[in-house]
Amino acid sequence: MNRTALRRIAAPGAAALALGLALTACGAGNESGSTSGSGLSGTLKGAGSSAQEAAMDAWRAGFQKANSGVTVNYDPSGSGAGVEQFNAGAIDFAGSDAALDPTKGEVDAAKKRCGANALEVPDYVSPIAVVYNLDGVDKLNLSAKTVGEIFDGKITKWDDAAIKAENPDAKLPSTAITPVHRSDESGTTKNFTDYLAQAAEGGWPHPADKVWPISSGEAANGTSGVIAAVKSGAGSIGYADESQVGDLSVAAIKVGDAYVAPSADGAAKALEVSPVDDTRTKGDLAVKVDRTTTEAGAYPLMLTSYLIACPTYSGAKADLVKGLLKYIVSTQGQQDAAKNAGSAPLPSSLQQKAETIIDSISAK
C-alpha cells in the first residue's frame, strides 16, 4: 500500500554525513528539563544508527539551543560502525538499532572501553517498512512467511502463488523479484531478521544478525542506499525505517488475522507488550521484542534504537553526556523526535527507567 503516514523526511546531504557537522541552534524549543539554561559547554561526538538520523537532528538542535556553548556531532554511519567506534573510544556515545550483542563480544568490548559495564537505554521507536517498486500494484499484503521466502530467494516472481493467495484482487505481473538488503552491519537488519526468525514459520531459516546472512539479492549501503536501490529497480523489494521511505509503496504485514500497515503507534504498542531482557546487567535496558504478538494495533516489525554510553567520564564530559541523553529521553526530546522523524515516544515506563539509568552517569 502507498505510504500514508504524515512524516517529515530529513533527506541528508553530503555535508550532513560528515562527523564534524554541527547543527545551528534552530529547531526545538528549550523546554528540555535539566538542560535548559544549564550553561553546559564543550563538544560531544556520537555515531551509529542511520535510522534515527532525523530524530538525532532534532535532538542535536534542541540541546544546542538550550546550551549555546555545546556542539553535538553525530555521524549516521550505521549501528555496527557506531558500536565499533564507541568500543574503540573514538566517540562519546553511540546510537544502535540493536542492543549490544554479548555473543559477538560487544558487551565485553564496551565494558573494557568504559572500565565498567556500559549503559544502554532505548531512545527511538519506529516501524520498519517493507518497501517495494512494482508498477500497477498500489496495495500489497504479505505475511512474515512470504516475506522470509522472498528474501531467502525461494519466491522469485511477483506472481508466485503465495503472493497471489494473499492478494487475490491485485494484478501481479510475472516480473522477477529483486530483494535489496543492507551491505553494512546494521541494527535495522538485526531487527528485520529477528522478525523473520520469530514470525516467518520456517520461511526464514536464519538467526537474527546485524550482518545479512546470505548472498542472494542486491546489497546497498545504509538506509538511504536501500531506498535508492528500490526506487531505481523495477520489481525490487527492501526494508527500511519508515521515516525514510518517501513515496515508495509499502506493504502491510500480517498480524494475527489482519494485515497491518506500519505506524509509529503500532511500533510503540509492540514495544509496550514486550518484556525487558532480564539477563542484562544493571543499567542495560534492552527489550526482547515479541515479534509474534497478535495484540490489536501492534506492528511487530519495528526497531528500538538504543543510546550507549559509559557510566563515568572524565571531568565536565560527564555532565555533557548526561545532559544530552536526559534531553533525548525526556518528554520534550521524544516530542521533538516525533515531529521531525515521525517516531513514537517511548512508553512512560521505559522512559522513567531510562532517565534513572542516565542519572547515574558521573565524573571519574
pTM: 0.82
Q: Is the pLDDT of residue 4 over 90?
A: no
Binding annotation for phosphate = 49-51, 79, 97, 186-188
Co-location of 87 and 123 in the same domain: yes
Within this chain, do residues 142 and 241 fall inside the same structural domain, yes or no? yes
Binding residues, by number, are 49-51, 79, 97, 186-188
The per-residue pLDDT for 243 is 87
158 lies in the same domain as 110: no
Is residue 107 domain-shared with residue 181, that is, in the same domain?
A: no
Give the model confidence (pLDDT) of 26-81 as tens digits: 333 333 344 444 579 999 999 999 889 999 999 999 999 999 999 999 999 999 99
Q: Are both 229 and 138 inside the same structural domain?
A: yes
Condensed to tens digits (0 to 9), the pLDDT of residues 95-104 reads: 999 999 999 9
CA distances from 116 to 119, 235, 284 (A): 9, 49, 12
Residue-wise pLDDT for 264-283, tens only, equals 999 999 999 999 999 999 99
Task: Please tell me whether residues 256 and 147 are part of one structural domain.
Answer: yes
Whether 231 maps to a domain, the answer reads: yes
- CA dihedral (342, 19, 186, 341) in degrees, to 10, reads 0
Q: Check pLDDT > 90 for residue 19.
A: no
User: Does residue 293 form part of some domain?
Assistant: no
How many residues belong to the chain? 364
Mean pLDDT of the chain: 90
Looking at the structure of the chain, the number of domains it has is 2
Q: Which residues pair with 252 in a beta bridge?
A: 141
**Mean pLDDT score, 110-128:** 97
Q: Which residues pair with 312 in a beta bridge?
A: 362
Q: Looking at residue 38, what is its pLDDT?
A: 58
Q: Are residues 184 and 82 in the same domain?
A: no
* In-domain check, residue 298: no
The answer to the question of residue 86 being in a domain is: yes
Task: Examine residue 6 and state whether it is found in any structural domain, yes or no.
Answer: no
* Same domain, residue pair 113 and 132: no
Cell numbers describing residue 93: 556515545
pLDDT digit string (tens) for 241-268?
A: 998 899 999 999 999 999 999 999 999 9
Q: What integer pLDDT is reported at residue 213 of this predicted model?
A: 95
CATH of the domain at 210: 3.40.190.10
Give the domain range for residue 339: 17-127+268-288+303-363
Residue 52: partners with Cβ closer than 8 Å, 6 or more residues away: 95, 97, 123, 124, 126, 241, 305, 337, 341, 343
Tell me if 202 is assigned to some domain: yes
Report pLDDT digits (tens) over 181-231.
Answer: 999 999 999 999 999 999 999 999 999 999 999 998 999 999 999 999 999
- The answer to the question of residue 3 being in a domain is no
Is 188 found in the same domain as 272? Answer: no
Residue 347 near residue 272 (C-beta atoms within 8 A): yes
7 within domain boundaries: no
